[in-house]
Amino acid sequence: MTTPLLEIKNLHVTIEGKEILKGINLALEKGQVHALMGPNGSGKSTLSNVLMGHPKYQVTGGEVLYQGRDLASLKTDVRARAGLFLAFQYPTAIPGVSVVNFLRTAMKSRFGEAFQPKEFRKEFKAAMAQLGIEESFATRYVNDGFSGGEKKRHEVLQMALLKPELAVLDETDSGLDIDALRVVAEGINRLRGPQLGILLITHYQRLLSYVEPDVVHVMMDGQIIQSGGKELAHELEAKGYAPYETEKAPAP
């Protein structure tokens, strides 16, 4: 039996004394795309922040295993170097830091001695071309004045270069028009493969029309109350979350 890439066992999390996650159970294998769907306030973004070690959130029960390794004692930068990647719902602007310098520094930190400065420019240009990003993008300051679509494409560009093993995409479709959504989805599809696991967090089914998930989870009030195939996303699109509001998560 293989060890899951990500295994969450009965995870309980509080913030400022209020319990947000109330017993999350989830197992994601390498090569899989899992979609985590739920209404605002259900705890989806809390889970993404906990996976990356945000200090504001306190784990009060359960555990999170990444490649069989307990994440509890690992700082955020250690998790990132180990191959975890989080694409934010609202990426932060960094005035004064160009995209090319930001990504060069990130890759050097991620790969350490294996980072090849002479190969960086070639890889960087190839990744931008693959994602349909103009070369002038390289000298712009990170997310400073970027449109919603440019911010999300920049995060997909980071994924392409940092080569994570687990990518958590927190509402990547937020604020995108249909053209930008299609471009971002195409970028995700180019990167998915047997060595990458993706946890795709979203409210809506529309992104899943372009990025087909292997598993769909429904999250309500801090619990995953149902899991199924891609047809579950279509059911949510048709019926909404109301039919699930009185359900409780199955016992672990």
Is 80 exceeded by the pLDDT of residue 142? Answer: yes
The answer to whether 158 and 124 are in contact (CB under 8 A) is no
Is 70 exceeded by the pLDDT of residue 249? Answer: no
Closest Cα to residue 213, out of 3, 25, 2, 31?
31
Q: What is the DSSP letter of 100?
A: H
Parse the chain into domains and list their residue ranges. 6-244
pTM value surpassing 0.85:
yes
Tell me: the pLDDT tens digits for 182-209? 888 998 999 999 999 999 998 878 889 8
Tell me: the pLDDT tens digits for 76-89? 999 999 999 999 88
Is 80 exceeded by the pLDDT of residue 245? Answer: no
CB-CB neighbours of 124 under 10 Å: 20
Q: For residue 66, which amino acid is it?
A: Y
Mean pLDDT of 54-66: 95
CATH of 6-244, one of 3.40.50.720, 3.30.1950.10, 3.40.50.300, 3.40.50.360: 3.40.50.300
Is 90 exceeded by the pLDDT of residue 251? Answer: no
Tell me: the pLDDT tens digits for 115-128? 998 899 999 999 99
Mean pLDDT of 65-84: 94
The answer to whether 115 and 108 are in contact (CB under 8 A) is yes
Closest Cα to residue 138, out of 152, 111, 156, 157?
157
Place of tokens 């279509």: 234
Is 90 exceeded by the pLDDT of residue 250? Answer: no
